Amino acid sequence: MDSCQAAADRIRGARRVIAFTGAGVSVESGIPSFRGKTGLWSRYDPECLNIDRFLRSPEQTWPVIRDIFYDYFGQARPNDAHRILSEWERDGLIAGIITQNIDNLHFDAGSRVVHEFHGNSRTLVCLRCGARRLAADTDLHAIPPLCPICGGLLKPDFVFFGEAIPEPARTQAFDEAELADLFLLIGTTGEVGPANLIPRIAKRNGAYIVEINPEPSLYTGSITDIHLAGGAAEIMRKLDELVR
């Protein structure tokens, strides 16, 4: 049987499907990935996202952060993969999404249950008083941007290297790894921990694993039951036709 058809049948027959997404789902929205030969880390120093470095010299790291996450990500729009996942949630085909992305594109596409394991770039948090504000309402050319309430340093509301995974996303993600009977991995290769533990825990709890990635990943051949080779939007369009 065609593997797309087999995956669609599994999705339709599952009790609780969770989509687990990574950088690959946003590539077709124009957001480059961090890793790999043409990834952002080949052009920028990942140390600018180290929390100690940021706290020590925010005036050096903020311009780089602004370049990558605001001037650049700010232009991105959801693609068919985001759109179809949002429709599947509306139609009861998936229970929700766990994403490692910080680009807000699942929410932009209309998804409502999105556990953002690494936080979100759209908001900034004041490291002194804890107030949150939209990056879009903040002058990011003031280096570093400061909290208008207390004057404290503002930090993007996503996880820096050396920081803990935010709650409640962390707990919700690990709970889903126990509840779901099908995990749909999209555009994530399993290199980044601790997020990469979630599908493995789901598998141990009996979940069926469908993987969408252009190339085999660390999940393929270890926990994946069906690997659909291709881009996220292309494969999701195919599945969407078959699942209806």
What gap in Å lies between CA 86 and CA 67, rounded to an integer? 29
What gap in Å lies between CA 125 and CA 127, rounded to an integer? 6
Contact predicate 108/78, CB 8 Å: yes
**Nearer to Zn ion among residue 147 and residue 180 (C-beta):** 147
Q: For binding to Zn ion (CB under 5 A), which residues are involved? A: 126, 128-129, 131, 147, 149-150, 152
Q: Is 118 a catalytic residue?
A: yes
Contact predicate 202/209, CB 8 Å: yes
What is the DSSP track for 61-96? HHHHHIIIIIIIGGG----HHHHHHHHHHHTTS-SE
Question: Could you say which of 106, 118, 141, 227 is catalytic?
Answer: 118
CA distance to 12, 112, 117, 183, per residue, from 88 (Å): 11, 11, 21, 14
Q: Nearest distance from residue 233's CB to Zn ion, in Å?
A: 40
Q: CA triplet 5, 173, 96: central angle to 5 degrees?
A: 45
**Nearer to Zn ion among residue 32 and residue 152 (C-beta):** 152
What gap in Å lies between CA 105 and CA 89, rounded to an integer? 15
Q: Nearest distance from residue 28's CB to Zn ion, in Å?
A: 37
Strand bridging mode 154-158 / 119-126: antiparallel
**Nearer to Zn ion among residue 53 and residue 155 (C-beta):** 155
Q: Nearest distance from residue 189's CB to Zn ion, in Å?
A: 37
Contact predicate 92/244, CB 8 Å: no
**Nearer to Zn ion among residue 152 and residue 214 (C-beta):** 152
Classify residue 224 by its DSSP letter. -
Q: Is the dihedral of CA 226, 232, 236, 238 positive or negative?
A: negative
**Adjacent-strand bridge partners of 123:** 134
**Nearer to Zn ion among residue 149 and residue 197 (C-beta):** 149
Q: Nearest distance from residue 102's CB to Zn ion, in Å?
A: 21
Catalytic site positions? 118
